[in-house]
Chain A
Amino acid sequence: MKEDNTNESQKNTGISRRGFLKGAGLTTAGTVMLQSGLLGKDKETIAAGEEVGIEGVVIRLKVNGKMHSALVEPRDTLAYTLREKLGLTGTKVVCDRGSCSACTVWVDNIPVNSCSTLALEVGDSEVTTVEGLAKDGKLHPVQEAFIEHDASMCGFCTPGMVMSAAHLLETNKNPSLADVKNATRGNLCRCGTYPHVFKATLEAAKKMS
């Protein structure tokens, strides 16, 4: 684990866990993450000069506007930390390797696969999970529309789907069907809610504008 914190090992082996994670998350969330350069931020400083051991470190994590502290190991992903350490189980883990986007959360308002983001990487960025999407007790229009248009069946993909769809509407007020498909292209739904997800997201956009 130690070598993850040195640039030296990346040069030597050509692949590190971090390097792997950068390449692994090529679904919706992962792509946006790379484009945003989020991982390019100098998060390494979080453990600068310190040896991060198996015993873990206590980090401060801002989630849904609230500051939490959690004892995390370097290997702990953000998804694992949210679910197991903070009890925020709305975020789901399905493939655990960035291919289904069930674990999508926003880090500084950018959707990422939290299964392929280390908790230590988050630093002082702000995390928004599905539990934090409603503001002041009022559902996000996408959540409202998902209910109205029956866009969930078993519901296990729904938190990730909602986070992808809601992010689209935060950045594109007038999306086309193709835009909605593009925004949710990494989100796997086994029940087949896609048609109602598309409809709900487009209807939510209309209501927001």
Chain B
Amino acid sequence: MEEKKLKLPYGIPGHNLTEIERVVPADEPPAWPINDKLKVVGKSVRRTDALAKVTGAAKYTADIQLSGMLIGKFLRAPHPNATIRSIDTSAAERHPGVYGVHVITHHKHDGDESGPGEFPEIKYAGQPVAGVAAVDMPTAIEAVKLIKVIYDTKPFVVDLEEAQKPESPLVYDAPVDQQETDGGGGSESGLGLNGNVRGPSRGGGPRGDLEKGFAGADIILENTYRTQVHTHSSLETHGCVVDWKPDNITIYASTQSTKGVRNEFANHFNLNKSQVRVICEFMGGGFGSKHSAGDFGLMAGHLSKKTGRPVKLMLDRQEEHISGGNRPNSIQYYKLGAKKNGELVAMYQRSHGTGGVSLGAGVGHIAEAMYTCPNFTTEQYDVLTHASPGAAWRAPGNVQGAFGLESLIDELAEKLGMDPLKLRDKIDPSEIRKVERKRGAEKFNWARRKKANSDTGTVKKGLGMAQGHWPRIVHIDSTAEVRAYRDGGVEVRSSVQDIGTGTKTIMAQVVAEELGLQAEDITVSIGDTAFPDGPSSGGSIATGSITPAARSAAYQLKLKLFDQVAKNLGADASDLVAENGQIVSKKDAAKKVPFKEALRKMRYEQISASGSRADDYEGFAYGTIAHGELGSVQFAEVSVDTETGFIQVDKIVAAHSCGRPLNPKQIESQINGGVIQGIAYALYEDRIMDKATGQQVNKNLHQYKLPMSFETPEIENIIVEEYPARSNTDAYGIGEPANISTAVAVANAVYNAIGVRIKELPITPAKVLAALNKA
């Protein structure tokens, strides 16, 4: 591959900004300067689809209505562990208004090939058994009730600690693996299963010598922390519409990965990917849980194939709680050795967590990666229970892990008599977080923080902070196409979807910047697998993956256009630039033509160019994934009422970096969201399972507590601009980083208020009162 050298901005403006030379592929566009010197990128351009959203014009999957469309509905098993003896669907099939019934069997194409008998074993309450397609929802609900299933019920276990006991009912009787989907969720393969306990996974493997490390420690801390299960509770539930035509299938899906849905669906039904088209124009929240075709997608597929009509299958709110995914819980044990000066010398971490019948409850990555303690070992166990499968949830593993790790580091600072920020200056190698700590502390006025339990009144104030780490991950398999039309229109296309993060807007900005236009000049057509494959929107991957592809495509299109224009202008194509809506010669400013005028003179009605994500500059990519760091530091101010145990979060200051910020206002929106979800995790959310029945007790939105307007504190954001010089946009996502450190910052602030550390989430008033009574 041909290469060239580029000088790119490198570092953090206002701190250590410099320039670095990188060897890059020859067809990469020239380096952009820092945001200050750009016209559209880095500006808070209006969200391109905001108008559709505020007027109700935006059509989500839940809103799709097709001619002849049927409504699909699941029959779900009421038992957490059972064998199905028989299923009689005859009454349902006879029911007026019912067009089709599909029973999930062991046949290969129902996704479960294991086990004896005709039907899959029931392993959690709410597991789908069959589905119906009927003229409308009321009819579908009636029909589902007419399906007669005879179950042989068996003992079950839903509790994380109970499930680890040797006498506990087994979820699986042979070792299990879990394949990674497009949105992650995979688990280290080949690990042993002992009862319901699988593992350990050791992350990247042990470092150094733990024993020696502890031997050299001045202080050793041992602690156990617990976090709860919480559900994604996206406002638009999981679901899709499948329109099965003989030659091709169109799927409207509420998804974070149109490409992933297509691939899974095609694989399941033995179709070519070219026969399956997945569309997601608007989607109502996913937070990690919406990457797969889903059992609902496959069911809608079967029903649509069977009936010859489009079938819409959207989960209802209860179903969303019990099968829409969740963040696994955790019990995390830490042993930490440190020197008097704060230096970490040894850390051992062991965790158990349950994602129900699925894997992926590990929490050790952040402890392994953030402080690079020289002697480190992690052992992470998945515990299987008869509960619904977990799913990736905004920074999977790191949010749970941060609660343990950053509580522990806070306690270490306390024990050493060090300021928590000073301790981190000592032990944290990250230059980004160093700047975030400094700028955050100033904005937050950290200097006013008092010793723990200093306030004497009933309501005590507390200040705390915590840090987060998330790797920069990039999907190289990300392509965009840019088209220009003779009528002046410019369009960017990709299968990448906008899940509310603003992907449409930043793609318009990047293309506009490259072509010297404004963001509103660009039509963004994404969320459709008819367009070139883009990345999934998860893991904070999308921005870093698709914006360089979009810029490359725009750059290649521009070169084509320059070739056509050069002759007319009497200029050399290599001297032309596109800026301020003009194509102009660098050598002679008089040689220029408005961009739209140049399009009008095109030989063809339309020109097009596509671009794909290059490897990270100078080989930072490992396979298809590149790692770097997205650091974050958050500060929390809380008031704790020591009579009621009630906690109010008064203020959060969130300092973040995501490479080159493309649209500060959209980034702020996402940080706010991460913070508010973090507060929810800290204080409110908890999926309550009834141990006696194996059912979720609070599968609604009134008993499942979520923060709303009155629980929203003042939030101040600091976006630390940073140029890692790794791609042609140097931009990365913010979804995961925003969510990692809030809960533990709040917990540390609660400690600072009352002087008692609460080591279990959520920190409810009852737990505060119990802790105060014990103290």
List chain A positions with a Cβ less than 8 A from chain B. 73, 75, 83-84, 87-97, 99-100, 102, 129-131, 133-134, 139, 143, 146-150, 152-159, 162, 180-182, 184-198
- Whether B666 pairs with A150 at a CB distance below 8 angstroms is yes
Extra pairs beyond A100-B701, A153-B673, A190-B232 (9, CB < 8 Å): A92-B62, A94-B701, A139-B55, A147-B51, A154-B282, A185-B708, A188-B708, A189-B708, A194-B672
Q: Which residues of B contact A91 (CB under 8 A)?
A: 56
B590 CB within 8 Å of chain A: no
Q: Is the CB of A131 within 8 A of B55?
A: yes
A-B CB contact pairs (8 Å), 26 listed: A83-B63, A89-B56, A89-B62, A91-B56, A92-B284, A95-B701, A96-B317, A97-B317, A131-B57, A147-B47, A147-B51, A150-B665, A150-B666, A152-B50, A152-B54, A154-B236, A154-B282, A154-B284, A155-B500, A156-B235, A190-B232, A190-B285, A191-B673, A192-B669, A192-B676, A194-B709
Please give the distance in Å from A85's CB to the nearest CB on chain B: 10
Return chain B residues, CB-CB under 8 Å to A96. Answer: 316-317
Question: B669 contacts A184, CB within 8 Å?
Answer: no
CA distance A83 to B714 in the complex (A): 36
Q: Which residue of A lies closest to B702 (CB)?
A: A99
B136 within 8 A of A: yes
- Bits for B243-287, please: 1 = Cβ < 8 Å to A, else 0: 000000000000000000000000000000000000000111101
- Using Cβ atoms and an 8 Å threshold, which residues of chain A touch B236? 92, 94, 154, 156
Q: How far in angstroms is the closest Cβ of chain B from A118?
A: 14
A197 CA / B715 CA spacing, docked (Å): 13
Q: Please tell me if B59 contacts chain A, counting CB pairs below 8 Å.
A: yes
Contact between A90 and B235, CB atoms less than 8 A apart: no
Query: With A and B bound together, what is the CA distance between A156 and B65 in angstroms?
Result: 17
Closest CB of chain B to A195's CB: distance in Å? Answer: 5
Instruction: Kindly identify which residue among B47, B232, B235, B499 contacts A150, using a CB–CB cutoff of 8 Å.
Output: B47
A209 to B637, CA, bound (A): 35
B235 and A131 within 8 A (CB): no
> When the two chains form their complex, are residues B708 and A187 in contact, meaning their CB atoms are under 8 A apart?
yes
**Cross-chain pair count, CB within 8 angstroms:** 170
A131 to chain B, nearest CB (A): 5
Which chain A positions have C-beta within 8 A of B51? Answer: 147
B54 touches A146 (CB 8 A): yes
Residues of chain B within 8 A of A194, CB atoms compared: 672, 676, 708-709, 712
- Which of B137, B234, B712, B714 is A190 in contact with, Cβ under 8 Å? B234
Interface residue tally for chain B (C-beta within 8 Å): 58
Q: B673–A192 contact, CB under 8 A?
A: yes
For residue B235, which residue of chain A has the nearest CB? A156
CA distance A96 to B62 in the complex (A): 14
Interface status of B695 (Cβ within 8 A of chain A) = no
Instruction: Enumerate chain A residues within 8 angstroms of B676, measured Cβ to Cβ.
Output: 192, 194
In the complex, the chain B residue whose C-beta lies closest to that of A73 is B138
Across the interface, B675 reaches (CB within 8 A) one of A93, A129, A134, A192, namely A192
Chain B residues closer than 8 Å to A134, beta-carbon distance = 55
> What separation, in Å, do the CA atoms of A195 and B317 have in the docked complex?
26
Name the residue of chain B whose CB is nearest to the CB of A152. B53
B56 and A159 within 8 A (CB): yes
**Which chain A positions have C-beta within 8 A of B55?**
90, 130-131, 133-134, 139, 143
CB of B53 within 8 A of CB of A158, answer: yes
| CB atoms of A130 and B672 under 8 A apart | no
Residues of A within 8 A of B136 (CB): 84
Residues of A within 8 A of B674 (CB): 192
A131 to B58, CA, bound (A): 11
CB pair B57–A181 under 8 Å, yes or no, is: no
Evaluate contact between B677 and A155: CB separation under 8 angstroms. Answer: no
Q: Given the known A-B contacts A190-B235, A193-B673, are A155 and B710 also in contact in the complex, defined by CB atoms under 8 Å?
A: no
Q: Give bound CA distance, A134 to B544, whole Å.
A: 37
Assess the A75–B666 pair: CB atoms within 8 A: no
The listed residue (B138, B233, B284, B672) touching A155 by CB distance below 8 A is B284
Once A153-B500, A190-B287 are accepted as A-B contacts, the answer to whether A89 and B672 lie under 8 Å apart by CB is no
